[in-house]
Amino acid sequence: MAISEDIKKTFIDYIMLQVFDDQYIDRQEEKKILEEGIKKGISVADGLAIIRQVAADKGLALERDAEERAKEMLKHFAADGKVDKKEFEDTLAIFKSASKSKIPEPEMKRRLKNMMEENGWKAKEGGLFGSKWYSAI
């Protein structure tokens, strides 16, 4: 469905208003923006496309995209079924950068651990001089 330029401009202005203070769109803000789009006759798919385009153009961070990036990194590192501490920390750094540090680090670690558990990826920890870094999360 074609979206009129007036409706699209109003929707983009609404997006910019939501990110005015922090340049970050978390999942709750994303849902609120999409609900506003639906009220204007914009489908969810079109709304997501516009949000992503605005984010790319304006350098905004999307929580959804940051999590997807982190998950892809973990998937790459877990090719052998396990993720070591350095790989986890590298993923954490990318997650932090992609989310512009808007999510507290302990919460990021919990989310990464949940991603690993949901996908059946194990942590390499312990050993003779190893630590229980994963268990501590």
DSSP letter for 125, please. -
**At residue 116, what is the residue type?**
M
Euclidean distance between CA atoms 106 and 108, whole angstroms: 5
Euclidean distance between CA atoms 78 and 73, whole angstroms: 8
pLDDT at 136: 84
Euclidean distance between CA atoms 107 and 115, whole angstroms: 12
Could you tell me the mean pLDDT of each successive run of 10 residues in the chain, 137 residues long? Answer: 87 94 92 95 95 94 94 94 93 94 94 94 74 82
Task: Report the 10 Å Cβ neighbour count for 96.
Answer: 16
pLDDT at 88: 95
Q: Would you list the domain boundaries of the chain? A: 5-59, 63-124
pTM: 0.82
pLDDT at 60: 92
